[in-house]
Chain A
Amino acid sequence: MREELLAIVEKNSRIDLKELAVILGVEEIDVVNELAALEAEGIICGYHTMIDWEKTSIEKVSALIEVRVTPQRGQGFDTIAERIYKYPEVTSVYLISGGYDLLVTLEGKSLKEISGFVSDKLSTLDSVLSTATHFILKKYKDHGTILAKKYEDTREKVTP
C-alpha cells in the first residue's frame, strides 16, 4: 500500500482520507496511520507533498545532461527536444544559450541506468553531437516544473 499511496499523494496531496481509503481498498484508519508514519519518517516532508525518495527503499539517481545538437532546417531545436522530452525518464528539457544547446534532467534507479540511457538512447539520436552527464549528489531545491499538455479526451464517446 505504501508505494501506491505515495504515488497518489505525490500527484494530489489534497485528496481526502476517505477517498484515499476507497481507492486503495483499505480502511480509513489504515490510511491515517500510514500517512502519519510516512510523516514521522520524513518521507512526506511538507504540504506540497514533496517526497524524499532517498528515505524509502526505492533507489533513485538524478543527472543533468548537457547536450549539443544540430538544429534541423525549418524546425530549429523543437523536434529533437520533443524526441528527448517524450522519454518518461527525462524530467525536463531546456534550450540553453552558451556552450551547449539542451539541458536535460533525468531520473533513474541507478548510475548504470542513467549511463545506459545516455549511451543507448540519447547519444544515438541522429542530431546529437555530444553529451556531458553530471550526476546530482544532493538536491537542494527541486522546482519540478511540469510542462505536460492538457489532457484532452479524443476518443469516440461510445465504443464496444
Chain B
Amino acid sequence: MKNMLSEQIKALKPSGIRKFFDIVSEMDDAISLGVGEPDFDTPWHIRDEGIYSLEKGRTFYTSNAGLKELKEEIGKYHRRKQGVTYDPAHEVLVTVGGSEAIDIGLRAVINPGDEVLIPQPSFVSYEPCAIMAGGVPVIIELKAENEFRLTAQELENAITEKTKILVLPFPNNPTGAIMERADLEAIAEVVRKHDILVMSDEIYAELTYKEKHVSIVEIEGMQERTILINGFSKAFAMTGWRLGYACGPKEIIQQMTKIHQFAIMCAPTTSQYAAVEALKNGEADVQEMRTAYNQRRRYLMNAFREMRLECFEPFGAFYVFPCIKEFGMSSEEFAERLLAEEKVAVVPGTAFGDCGEGYLRISYAYSLDNLKLAIGKLAHFVEKLRAERK
C-alpha cells in the first residue's frame, strides 16, 4: 500500500529520550539517574481511596470534563494556593495527565500557521504537539547565564504578527529552573502588550525549594488569557494514575472539552476518586516529599562543587542540569561514555532541545544512598576525562 502513513507524523522526530532509553534498557546493572518521575509510592490513603472506589463499583465513565467533586477540589486548591477563582463547572477540565492537556490545549487554540513560542530546554511534548495542532513551533533558547529563566527581552524578540501562544514550562524539566514573581510580571507585560495567550505548564508547582511557587495567573490580566496545566503525577507521586487537568477561560475549556470528549471520553474514574482524596488530605505528604527532594538537591549541588562541575543552583522540580562543556564532547557522547564506562545513566541535555547541548539532566528522584553511589562514579569519570585532556 502506498502512502500508508501521514507525512506530518512521519516527519516528527522521535523523542531523544526514547533513543537513550533503548541503550540503557539493554544494561541490567546500570544505575539510572534518568527518571522523570518520583521514587515515592503514592501515599497509601490516596491508593486506598482508589481501591475503595473500585470496591464500591465506581467503574463507569464520569462526565466528560471530570467528576464534579474533583473539579470543585481543583477549584479550591487554586483558590488556596494562588488566590484565583476558577468556576468548576466551566473552567476546569480533568485530563489524562498533563500531557493530554498540552495536546488538546494547543489544538483548541491553534489555527494553521499560528506560531507557538516554546522556550527550551523543556519537556519533549510541546514541539510535536504544536506541529500536530497545525502550528509553527518557534523555539526560544534559554540561557544558563539567566539560570534558564525566560526573560522579557527574549520573549519580545521572538514575537511576530503570527504569534498565538507562549508555552511557559516552569518549574522546568529538565533544568530545574523556576520563575519568580518579578520574572513573571515582566513576561506578563509583554504578553498583554502583544495580546497573546499563555499555556503555563505547572506540573512541578509543588516542588520548589526557595519561595512558594508563583503562577502567572496570579499576575493581573493573565488568568483570562492563560491555560493553566497541572496534575497529580509529580506532587502526589501519581504518575501511573495518568491524571492531570487544565484550568482556563470558559471559551477555551469548552473547546478542549470537545476534543477530550471525542478522543478520550473521560479521565480514568479510579484515578479521579483517588485524586479527590489527594487534594483533600495530601498536603502533609507533599511537604514530606518536598523536604526529602530538597535534601537530595543540596547533596547534589555540594557534590558538583566538590568535583568542580559547573551547575547553576536550580530551585524547582527534581532535576539538576550540570554543564559538561569543559570536556569538549557532546552531551550525547558524554552520556554514552558515562553509561558504558561507569554504568551510570543520565539524560543528555539535547533530548530537551538543541540548546541543551553541553548539559546533562540528572534526576534526584532517587534515595540519597542511590545518589551517593552514582555520584561517586560520576566523580570518578569526570576525573578520568580531565586526566585524558591533560
Contacts and interface: CB of A to CB of B under 8 A. Distances in A.
Contacts of A25: 294, 298
Range of interface residues on A (Cβ < 8 Å)? 20 to 34
A96 to B, nearest CB: 23
B299 A23 contact: yes
Interface string B49-85: 0000000000000000000000000000000000000
Interface string B214-228: 000000000000000
A157 interface: yes
Interface in B83-133: 123-125
Interface in B320-361: 345, 347, 351
Given A155-B35, A158-B17, A158-B32, A87 B298 contact: no
A151 B296 CA distance: 18
A97 to B, nearest CB: 28
A159 B298 contact: no
B291 interface: yes
A157 B45 contact: no
A41 to B, nearest CB: 23
Contacts of B43: 88
Given A4-B291, A159-B17, A160-B124, A86 B34 contact: no
B134 interface: no
B15 interface: yes
B34 A159 contact: yes
B45 A156 contact: no
A155 B240 CA distance: 10
A151 B370 CA distance: 12
Contact of A158 (B34, B44, B173, B302): B34
Interface string A62-96: 00000000000000000000010011100000000
A23 B34 contact: no
A78 to B, nearest CB: 15
Interface in B26-53: 30, 32, 34-37, 39, 43-45, 47-48
B207 interface: no
Contacts of B345: 157-158
A155 B299 contact: no
Contact of B36 (A86, A153, A159): A159
B257 to A, nearest CB: 26
B86 to A, nearest CB: 28
Interface string B344-386: 0101000100000000000000111000000000000000000
B24 interface: yes
B3 interface: no
A24 interface: yes
Interface of A: 4, 7-8, 19, 22-25, 83, 86-88, 151, 153, 155-160
